[in-house]
């Protein structure tokens, strides 16, 4: 058993380079894709390097500076990578370079490139052309859609500012309400004291008619105080209602903030997935021949019912990159069935995600497609990858 493991290790060393011998073009992409910043920091700490109060960039920069030659850091990194991707090494150790390139293309479409990237980067006798091709793809993916990610972050920051402003307004209203309550309490004490005096004076008035005019004056003053207190209590009631309204608005903003944050996270995740697929898109010239893989989709109107509304522009880009004509319905049935029916009647392919949709839209879509004899796919998800696969299946079925 021990001899078998030793022979397997020797065979692996004869086929694969250690990490410090990896091509400089792929060394940084290999580190960024195959090792997280936390994993890099853990390896550096195990070799005694102090990482207190440093940024993720400094961790990465320090880690990369030790991969140019064989040292404690590079040796530990090499052992860690081999252990982490042992299954990939076993899987791809026997195949030739052409098969490796095909496996890379498949992994790039699915977004799972870490294992195959480590194999290609560390494999001995890999051609310079394949290394340069993979480096180019990774480099361009690093730039793709960065503006969209920044836009999503700016939207989230704006929502945070609005929330802080509303919280400040609410705190001010609370302080005003507290002050009004304090004044109300003080006036109530004054009213109680006045009523007590009035009660005493009423008893005295029974024994002395001379005090009658003074008593009437006190009664009038008491009525005025009651009117003032009633007005203050009414103002207090209005302030309490206003505070409750602001509380509801705050909760509503917090819910909107949470939903926006979740939506932005989904968009960022979807953008990452879209980056891994965009290299496989072929821009259509709208003059397809039968030999074109998108021939059966060219100029076809593709309708998406529901899905993530903020992903609409990416749905459009995906469908139009395949040569199709984009049609979209957000799944809301406020305008009845007419708009949805019109969209379905003029479309050739209908895709309906059920996870981001209303039950009414899904049910009505299936019934209308059956009535109008239109092909429809009910999708379990609304991601770009799901839409992409559905389009591919439609092209394959029509072929």
Of 120, 143, 166, the residue at which a domain comes to its end is 143
pLDDT tens for residues 155-208?
Answer: 788 888 888 888 998 898 999 998 999 998 888 889 898 888 888 877 776 666
Q: Residue 71 falls within a domain, yes or no?
A: yes
In a domain, 222, yes or no: yes
Q: Would you state the pLDDT for residue 279? A: 42
- Does residue 159 sit in the same domain as residue 230? yes
**CATH number for the domain that contains residue 202:** 1.10.287
Per-residue pLDDT at 118: 87
Question: What percent of the chain lies above the pLDDT cut of 70?
Answer: 81
Domain end (from 109, 143, 177): 143
| Closest by CA position to 59, among listed 35, 26, 25, 27 | 35
Which has more confidence, 274 or 13?
Answer: 13
Beta bridge partners of 302: 326, 349
Same domain assignment for residues 205 and 134:
no
Residues 130 and 152 in one domain: no
| Alpha helices (runs of H) in the chain, residue ranges in sequence order | 2-15, 24-34, 37-46, 56-65, 72-84, 86-92, 97-110, 114-122, 128-143, 146-207, 212-278, 312-321, 338-345, 359-372, 384-398
What is the Cα 203 distance to its own chain's centre? 76
pLDDT at residue number 374: 94
Residues 96 and 62 in one domain: yes
Q: Strands 301-305, 376-379: parallel, antiparallel or unpaired by DSSP? A: unpaired
111-120, 129-138, 263-272, 301-310, range with the lowest pLDDT: 263-272
Q: What was the pLDDT predicted at 71?
A: 92
Residue 181's domain comprises: 147-276
pLDDT tens digits for 22-39?
A: 888 888 888 889 999 999
Contacts of 144 (CB under 8 A, 6+ apart): 275, 278
- For residues 317 and 315, give the distance between their C-alpha atoms in angstroms, rounded to a whole number: 6
Question: For position 314, what pLDDT does the model report?
Answer: 93
Identify the pLDDT of residue 38. 92
* Residue 167 in tokens: 């919280």
164: CB partners within 8 A, 6+ apart: none
CB contact at 8 A, 166 and 255: no
Q: Are residue 241 and residue 160 in the same domain, yes or no?
A: yes
Between 129 and 337, the more confident residue is: 129
Distance (Å, whole) CA 366 – CA 376: 7
In the 8-state DSSP scheme, what is residue 21? G
Mean pLDDT of the chain: 82
Give the DSSP letter of residue 279. T
Same-domain status, 156 and 257? yes
Among residues 143, 167, 192, the one where a domain terminates is 143
Q: Clarify whether residues 212 and 345 are in a common domain.
A: no
Scan for tokens 């005003």, then name that residue. 176
pLDDT of residue 294: 54
Cα separation, 358 vs 335, in Å, equals: 14
Residue 131 sits in the same domain as residue 182: no
Q: pLDDT for 44-79, tens place per residue?
A: 899 888 888 889 989 999 999 988 899 999 899 999
Q: Are residues 21 and 116 in the same domain?
A: yes
Q: How many residues in total does the chain contain?
A: 399
Does residue 233 lie in a domain region?
yes
- Residues with Cβ within 8 Å of 94's Cβ and at least 6 positions away in sequence, in order, are none
Q: Which of 125-134, 212-221, 367-376 has the lowest mean pLDDT?
A: 212-221
Tell whether the model's pLDDT for residue 291 goes beyond 80: no
Mean pLDDT of the region 320-325: 88
My answer on whether 102 and 197 are in the same domain is: no
How many other CB atoms are found less than 10 A from the CB of residue 62? 16
**293 lies in some domain:** no
Task: Judge whether 288 lies within some domain.
Answer: no
Q: CATH number of the domain at 371, please.
A: 3.40.50.720
Q: Are 349 and 289 in contact (CB under 8 A)?
A: no
pLDDT at position 147 is: 56
Question: Would you say residue 61 lies in a domain?
Answer: yes
User: Minimum mean pLDDT among 104-118, 198-212, 280-294: which range?
Assistant: 280-294
345 inside domain: yes
Is 305 strand, coil or helix? Answer: strand
Q: What is the pLDDT of residue 277?
A: 53
Domain count, the chain: 3
Question: In Å, how far are 72, 111, 113 from 31, measured between CA atoms?
Answer: 16, 17, 12
Phi-psi region of 99 (alpha: psi -120 to 50; beta: other; left: phi over 0): alpha
Judge whether 296 lies within some domain.
no
pLDDT digits (tens, 9 = 90+) for 237-250: 898 898 888 888 88
Do 374 and 308 lie in a common domain?
yes
**What is the number of alpha carbons within 13 Å of residue 374 lying toward its C-beta?**
27
Please state the rounded mean pLDDT for residues 76-94: 88
pLDDT at 256: 72
* Cβ neighbours for 105, distance < 8 A, ≥ 6 positions apart: 280
What is the pLDDT at residue 271?
A: 60
12 and 68 fall within a common domain: yes
């Amino acid at each position: 058993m021990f001899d078998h493991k030793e022979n397997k290790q020797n065979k692996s060393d004869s086929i694969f380079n250690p990490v410090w011998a990896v091509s400089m073009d792929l060394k940084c992409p290999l580190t960024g894709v195959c090792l997280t910043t936390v994993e890099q920091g853990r390896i550096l700490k195990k070799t005694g390097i102090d990482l207190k109060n440093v940024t993720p960039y400094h961790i990465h920069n320090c880690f990369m500076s030790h991969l140019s030659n064989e040292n404690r850091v590079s040796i530990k990194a090499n052992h860690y990578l081999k252990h982490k991707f042992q299954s990939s090494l076993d899987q791809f150790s026997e195949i030739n370079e052409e098969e490796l390139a095909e496996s890379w293309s498949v992994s790039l479409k699915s977004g799972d490139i870490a294992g195959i990237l480590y194999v290609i980067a560390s494999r001995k006798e890999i051609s310079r052309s394949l290394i340069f091709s993979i480096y180019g793809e990774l480099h361009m993916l690093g730039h793709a859609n960065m503006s969209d990610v920044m836009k999503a972050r700016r939207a989230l920051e704006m929502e945070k500012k609005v929330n802080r402003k509303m919280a400040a307004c609410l705190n001010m209203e609370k302080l005003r309400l507290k002050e009004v309550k304090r004044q109300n309490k003080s006036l109530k004490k004054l009213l109680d004291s006045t009523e007590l005096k009035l009660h005493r004076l009423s008893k005295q008035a029974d024994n002395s008619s001379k005090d009658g005019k003074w008593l009437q004056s006190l009664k009038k003053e008491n009525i005025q105080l009651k009117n003032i207190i009633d007005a203050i209590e009414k103002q207090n009631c209005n302030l309490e209602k206003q505070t409750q309204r602001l509380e509801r608005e705050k909760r509503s903003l917090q819910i909107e903030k949470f939903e926006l944050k979740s939506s932005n996270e989904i968009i960022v995740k979807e953008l990452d997935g879209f980056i891994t697929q965009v290299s496989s898109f072929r821009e259509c010239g709208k003059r397809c021949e039968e030999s074109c893989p998108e021939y059966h989709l060219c100029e076809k109107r593709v309708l998406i019912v529901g899905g993530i509304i903020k992903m609409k522009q990416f749905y459009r880009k995906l469908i139009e990159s395949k040569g199709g004509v984009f049609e979209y319905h957000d799944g809301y049935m406020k305008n009845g069935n007419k708009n949805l029916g019109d969209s379905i009647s003029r479309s050739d392919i209908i895709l309906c995600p059920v996870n981001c949709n209303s039950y009414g839209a899904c049910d009505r879509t299936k019934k209308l497609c059956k009535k109008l004899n239109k092909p429809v796919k009910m999708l379990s998800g609304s991601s770009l990858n799901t839409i992409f696969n559905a389009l591919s299946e439609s092209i394959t079925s029509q072929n």
